[in-house]
Structure 1
Amino acid sequence: MAERTIHLVRAWVAMAALALCGLGVSPASQAAEELALDCGVGTYRLDDGSSLDVGPSAGSSLRWRRPDGTSGAFSTTGPEAGVSSLGWTKRPDGQRVRIDCAKAQIDVDGVRGRRLALATTEVRFTSDGTTLAGRLVMPEGDGPVPVVVLLQGSEHDSAMRFDSMQRRFPAAGVGAFVFDKRGTGASGGRYSQDFDQLARDAVAALQEARRLVGTRVARIGFHGPSQGGWIAPLAARIAPVDFIIVGFGLAVSVLDEDREAVAMNIAAAGHGPQAMAGAMALVDACGALAVNPAPQVFERFARVRQRFAGEPWFKDVRGDFCYLLLGLKTQEEFAEFAQHLNAGTPWLFDPLATIGAVTAPQLWILAQDDLEAPAAETARRLAVLRMAGRPIATAVFPWTEHGIYEYETAADGSRLSTRQPDGYLRMMVDFAFGPVLKPVYGTAALARPHR
């Protein structure tokens, strides 16, 4: 997963905007900066018995994460080198982190540690004729262990560079196979949001992981964050697995996601039933345009937009992609925008039947306050499947947003992530080892399969 998961269409649009504006960083300077930062990347065992993972962060900084979910960012150069900030707030948290790359050592407020020597294998494998880049990271030792194949959200970033779970799982005794999805990082092909294609890529990664791990495989399954929650069950229907872990994913369609997100935003802003009805009409127009980006559909969308543009609630229509369409004033602007959206998104795909057909145990971890992928309807649908006897557990963490991040709210209503909740990582590790979860994982509200 990237520094923060960017959801579905938003990531594709952000990349398209950079391309259209001609913005970017020269490959040579970017490579040099990454090389300088990457020497400190790894999981460290500290002398006090605790552990800490260090990975790339935004810009020229690194991010540390502890198993309990606390996190901070720090720079490795300049006058503020080593000064840690709280979560994603950019406020100093009173800690200082220093890394000695030559000795593979770290110092955290005077407590020293050494980087773990996790066994790593770099590979290339193919899926539907496209070469994908992957990496297997295994825990210390030579005994059988569970293995997690790490899927991705909709981001364009290299998972092999940014997904910290490739180290955090192995540090906890679970093998991890990470790969760059097609069209990103070191993988070939064109970026895609075609769920069937991404599921076939996930199966190819699963097969490669099985081959590499060999007799050390005790159990193997998928971890699907965000968009990966749609992909993992599809892949498991092609190639059976021992478990599936979904983080902040959805059991509704892409269009329903946007509809629920807009409804949540309108309600949160304090608007009444009339505003909600208008917002839903606007969302329906956005959805029709996404499914069929034809000129005549844009004209109908533009008429609906004009009808509601002066309403006080109009500014609060956000969602996952509708608000992006609202800013496109002309056919020409939309035509330019639409060509960058043609990534095969299955707008109407309803995942419920696929999720219900999976026989492997599933753990769905949801964020109660998720504005990007609202969790309420997904939790309800999963509960129906669970009551029907499907082996599905759900865990809802209160006061968390997309990515399972705790947050604080600024005066303008924006959110700043502070950490992930205690118990989040431990729950995923336990589920990888076996489907029976412990009674308590921090503040999570757990619902277990009926026996």
Structure 2
Amino acid sequence: MLLKILKHVAFLLAIGLGAASALSAAPVDCRAGTYRLADGAIVDVAPSEGTALRWRRLDGTTGLLSGPGPEYRSTLGWTGRPAGIIVSFTPCADRGIRFGGTQGRRIDFDTTETSFRSGEVSLAGRLVLPRGAGPVPIVVLVHGSEHDSARELYSLQRLLPAMGIGAFVYDKRGTGGSGGAYTQNYLTLALDAVAAAREARRLAGGRAGPVGYQAGSQGGWVAPLAARIEPVDFVIVCFGLAVSPADEEREAIAYGVSRHGFGPAAVAQANDFAEASLTMLRSGFQDGYAQMEEARRRHGSAPWFRHVRGDVTHVLMQKSEEELRRIGPPLFAGLQLDYDPMPVLRNLDVPQLWILAEEDIDAPSAETARRLDALAAAGRPIRVAIFPGTEHGIYAFETTADDERLSTRQPEGYLRMMRDFILTRHLSGDYGAQLSGAR
């Protein structure tokens, strides 16, 4: 979860802290959109890294399109290997695509751009509805910890309407077209989500059916809090946690060491690195450097040391003190390391679906699943779905010789599961996941 922030570090170091908001000024690529192919399949195309595009299908497959065109050879997921799919686009005015030899045309949605207030801050949002006149469920998309524009990059804002569900996407404060300063204060972000849900209902008018939240990663702390402040009809949390951010880092360190065959003694020693990272974060990057060096001195030759990862620890260990003192404070502004989500979850009556990754190395899911199952047994309306063989983001992956993970796709049942829960608040079948909790 916190790792998304660190992925911006090298970029921001190179071109300045103002670059994150500058990204939102880039012109919208006219090829971005959702297409219906002649065989009935749906494919979404969204901006990705640099000038590249990324396609996604409802079955979870995905690939990167880059190069000069006019024909693009797709990769398999994030592996960089060719997928054997060639994609081309018609001139923008024609709104067409040729995907793997099958023609398709852009799907038209009812789209409304808006600006709305959350306290003193103006937030930029967009309501996307399937064409028609009747009411539809509306999903408010709640951010993770990223600094990017959700309106530019979130493919769910189109994939959900392609399945007959409305979506409201907004740039979190301090990103994209929204005002204010970036923050990780969960109460502030929850109040922003509440304001977004109100705006979605207002814009949809008579077309507004049930309204709820879908939240990924860090949004798993935000969306339940927002629903507790002002109830909605459902909450979906994907690869989120029911433990504190501090415990997330400790669990991630422990999981990284134990999954390579090391026992409790090694895990306890490796926790020294987690505590050093937490000292850095708690102090606003003013302290913790000597603590990290001492941990490295004591354990740097241990056989398990190369498996110390965590959510952010491995990145902090690679950066100089000067870099972290300069970049860390604005990137982690407002972070609440000791936020305990359990009081909210114990008292939340809104139907919830938690979708977790079994092999998540950034946000290990075992303790969260245990806590959620206990809440469900105590009567909370919580369903838990764990997709085996997946990592953060609910992505299947390959592992390279140097233990690097390369994401390939999402499970075939992932989007179907969300669709069914949004439409009915129930699940039918297992969707390829391990299910538990309230039925």
Equivalent residue, structure 2, for 1:226: 217
* Inter-CA distance 21–31: structure 2 relative to 1 (3 Å threshold): closer
Provide the C-alpha distance between the structure 1 equivalents of 2:282 and 2:271, rounded to a whole number of angstroms.
16
- Size of the alignment, in residue pairs? 437
8 A Cα contact 2:285 2:329, kept in partner: no
Out of 372-381 and 51-60, give the one that drifted further: 51-60
What 5-or-longer segments of structure 2 have no aligned partner?
A: none
> Is 2:438 aligned against 1:449?
yes
Describe the SS at the equivalent of 1:358.
Answer: coil
Change (3 A) 1:444 1:295: closer
* Correspondence for 2:349 among 350, 356, 359: 359
Pairing partner for 1:386 from 339, 351, 376: 376
**Pair 1:349 & 2:342 matched:** no
CA distances 1:150-190 after superposition (whole Å, capped 9, x unpaired): 01111111100000000000000000000000111111111
1:58 is the counterpart of 2:49: yes
Go from structure 1 to structure 2 and tell me whether the alpha carbon gap of 1:333 and 1:72 turns closer, same or farther (over 3 Å shift). closer
| Counterparts in 2 of 1:26 and 1:312: CA distance versus 1, 3 Å | closer
Counterpart amino acid of residue 44 in structure 2: D
Describe the SS at the equivalent of 2:97. strand
- Structure 1, gaps ≥5 residues long: 1-6
How far is the alpha carbon of 1:31 from its aligned partner? 8.1
- SS in structure 2 of the partner of residue 256 of structure 1: helix
Q: CA deviation at 1:34?
A: 4.4
**Is 1:439–2:429 an aligned residue pair?**
yes
Distance 2:176 2:134 in 1: 32
Question: What is aligned with 2:415?
Answer: 425
In structure 1, C-alpha distance between the alignment counterparts of 2:398 and 2:135, rounded to whole Å: 41
Output the CA distance in 2 between the equivalents of 1:26 and 1:317.
31
Aligned twin of 1:216 = 207
Q: Write out per-residue CA displacement over residues 247-306 of structure 1, whole angstroms, 9 at most, x where no aligned residue.
A: 000000001101111111111233333322211233233324432458675544543443
Alpha-carbon distance in 1 for matches of 2:159, 2:285: 46
Q: 1:305-338, CA deviations, whole angstroms, 9 ceiling, x for partnerless residues?
A: 43223333223211012233434665x5653354
Q: Deviations over 1:355-376 (max 9, x none)?
A: 1211110000001011001010
- The answer to whether the 8 A contact 1:56-1:162 is kept is yes
When normalised by structure 1's length, the TM-score is 0.91
Partner of 2:303: 312
- Aligned AA for 2:111? T
Does the CA-based 8 Å contact 1:62-1:76 persist in structure 2?
A: no
SS in 2 for 1:277: helix
Give deviations 1:361-394, integer Å, cap 9, x for gaps.
0000001011001010000000000000100001
The SS at the match of 2:93 is: coil
Aligned twin of 1:4: none
Displacement of 1:105 after TM fit? 1.0
Alignment correspondent of 1:167: 158
2:364 to 365, 374, 381: 374
The reply on whether 1:13 has 2:16 as its aligned counterpart is no
Q: 1:146 offset after TM fit, Å?
A: 0.4
**Does residue 110 in structure 1 map to residue 101 in structure 2?**
yes
Matching residue's letter, 2:125: G
8 Å Cα contact 2:64/2:74 also seen in 1: yes
CA RMSD of aligned residues (A): 2.3
Q: Which amino acid aligns with 2:339?
A: F
- Equivalence for 2:112: 121
Q: Percent identity?
A: 50
1:412, distance to aligned residue in structure 2 (A): 1.4
Q: Give runs of aligned pairs for residues 324-343 of structure 1, distance below 5 A.
A: 324-327=315-318, 335-343=325-333
Contact kept? 1:12, 1:340, Cα under 8 Å: no
Query: 1:57 Cα shift?
Result: 1.9
Of residues 78, 91, 96, the one that matches 2:81 is 91
For residues 213 and 125 of structure 1, what CA distance do their matches in structure 2 show? 14
